[in-house]
Amino acid sequence: MKARITAIGNEILIGQVLDTNSNWLATELTRLGFDVENIAVIPDVRAAIESALSSAEGACDLICFTGGLGPTSDDITKQTFADYFGEPLVMDSEVLADVTAFLARRGRTALVNLNRSQAMVPKGATVLRNLVGTAPGSWFEKDGTVFVSMPGVPYEMRKMMNDEVIPRIREKFDLSVIYQKTVLTFGIPESDLAARIAKWEAALDDIEIAYLPSPAGVRLRLTLRGTDREALKAKVGERIAELDKQIPGDIYGYDTDTLASVVGQLLLGKKKSMATAESCTGGLIGHQITSHPGASAYYLGSIIAYDNRVKIGLLGVNEADIDAHGAVSRRVVESMAEGVMGCTGADYAVATSGIAGPDGGTLEKPVGTVWIAAASKTRTISKRFQFGERRDVNIARSAASALNMLRKLLLEEDPAGSEGGAQ
């Protein structure tokens, strides 16, 4: 089945607004089983909207429009749709009640004419309710094509798509069931990973696989279509179990997990705490950990030791070690991890010290050289990494590598924690 996505809005064409709606819709429609044949952005111009409508009619099964539904004069999508389908705009009492209730929740009780105009809908269309904004959507059918018009505000569009459009799509079209699971790996570059799991990948049969690389590792998205969701889930689960044996320890989670959330789950499971000592990562590890609600249950805090005096004065790093080995060295980063455990009382710690760039590199330690340590009460491990030239990427990869090193330390100390953290 063929689908198209069209965003209406001058603000996108001048680059003022990044169109994230089309990407979200593309993911959802693909998951539903549609073949998205194009995405277009067109201006708030009658002829452009008419052309999009007429070229889709009879040529695709579904076209989803976003945008141009505001109450002001530059938004012409609703009127253009009404004219194209030959339907007059009429007042819809249910929509009027929705708009009134929405505005009342925001403390506005007097409806102005602009609000009232939002409750006008094309007579023959199926109205798509909007409970989180004032612009209703609409659903038309003509010559075997479904035309859907939704607001451009991302939050309103997504809710309308989930609550009003997808159920109607499922009813209208004979869609297969789709099961999707994303496997999160860390520590193996994309090309090496592809080589290591080539045999496993070749035996995937009808499971589709997508490689999605990022600074936080390579994500593998597995997609399987069929009729019985539980059967699909079981089959994908079997393959993932096989994959886990091929790259033991390198799968850190699934779907929306992050390295920080997985480390948090492992610590919660053990009822243990952690702290960080950050130099080159400058607070990013702390930020990633504390982005997760409930982090205060296991995260005590950090010393960001950007300056060597802070490394010495607060973390107890030996000045002679800095003089002898440099701040970016095994000795210093291990002392940092142990030092922050000592002064916070944490059970575990990670530390980073590196040259993020663009300056500060030497022949022996070029930009991108980073030492990372992870420590428990009984041992400290550390490793030298050589990343690249970009400061932002070096910082991001250092933070991810540090969290992964701590994850592995937590798993090694108590392998039983693995299941709890990764599921």
- Closest distance between a copy of itself and the C-beta of residue 95, in Å? 23
Residue 357, Cβ neighbours under 10 Å: how many? 21
CA–CA dist 351, 399 (Å, integer): 9
Q: How far apart are the first and last CA of the chain?
A: 34
Q: How far apart are CA 265 and CA 259, in angstroms?
A: 10
Comparison of 247 and 310: residue with beta carbon closer to a copy of itself: 310
Structure-token match 């590199």, residue found: 361
CB of 271 to a copy of itself, least distance (A): 15
* C-beta of 345 vs 415, nearer to a copy of itself: 345
Amino acid at the residue 380: T
161, containing H or E segment: none
Out of 68, 286, 326, 354, name the contact with a copy of itself by CB under 8 A. 286
189 binds a copy of itself (CB under 8 A): no
Least distance (Å) from a copy of itself to the CB of residue 14?
4
CB 411, min distance to a copy of itself, A:
24
- Interface residues for a copy of itself in 380-419 (CB under 8 A)? 391-392, 395
Strand, coil or helix: 230? helix
d(CA 32, CA 321): 59
Q: Hey, what amino acid is at 338? A: E
CA proximity to 327, closest of 348, 305, 342: 305
- Distance (Å, rounded) from C-alpha 66 to C-alpha 357? 42
Judged by CB under 8 A, the residue of 200, 254, 306, 385 near a copy of itself is 306
3-state SS record for 269-293: HHCCCEEEEECCCCCHHHHHHHCCC
Extract long-range pairs of 205-213: CB within 8 Å, 24+ residues apart: 207/235, 207/236, 207/239, 212/182
Q: Is 24 in the site for a copy of itself (CB under 8 A)?
A: yes
What is the DSSP-derived secondary structure letter of residue 328?
Answer: S
302 contacts a copy of itself (rule: CB under 8 A): yes
Q: Which of 111, 132, 300, 381 contacts a copy of itself by CB under 8 A?
A: 300
Q: Is 313 in the site for a copy of itself (CB under 8 A)?
A: yes
Distance, CA of 118 to CA of 140 (rounded, Å): 18
The one-character DSSP state at 176 is P
The verdict on 312 binding a copy of itself (CB under 8 A) reads no
Per the structure block, which two tokens stand in for 171?
């009813």
Piece of the chain touching a copy of itself by CB under 8 A; list 110-118, 160-168, 170-178, 304-312? 304-312
Among 1, 32, 48, 381, binds a copy of itself (CB under 8 A): 48
The interface mask with a copy of itself, positions 211-250, x = CB under 8 A, is: -x--------x-----------------------------
Give the shortest CB-273-to-a copy of itself separation in angstroms. Answer: 8
Task: By CB under 8 A, tell whether 287 contacts a copy of itself.
Answer: yes
In this chain, which of 314, 325, 381, 384 binds a copy of itself, going by CB under 8 A? 314
Contact with a copy of itself (CB under 8 A): which of 1, 2, 33, 40? 40
**Interaction residues for a copy of itself, span 51-70 (CB under 8 A):** none
Q: Does 76 bind a copy of itself (CB under 8 A)?
A: no
Rg of the chain on CA atoms, in Å? 27
* Cα gap 308→279, rounded to integer Å: 9
Residue in 72, 93, 113, 296 binding a copy of itself, rule: CB under 8 A: 296
Determine which residue in the list 160, 236, 267, 285 makes contact with a copy of itself, applying CB under 8 A.
285
Place of tokens 């916070």: 344
Q: Is 33 in the site for a copy of itself (CB under 8 A)?
A: no
- CB-CB contact of 225 with 177 (8 Å): yes
**Does the footprint of a copy of itself cover residue 190 (CB under 8 A)?**
no
Does 281 sit near a copy of itself (CB under 8 A)?
Answer: yes
Size of the site for a copy of itself (CB under 8 A): 72
Among 290, 330, 361, 366, binds a copy of itself (CB under 8 A): 290
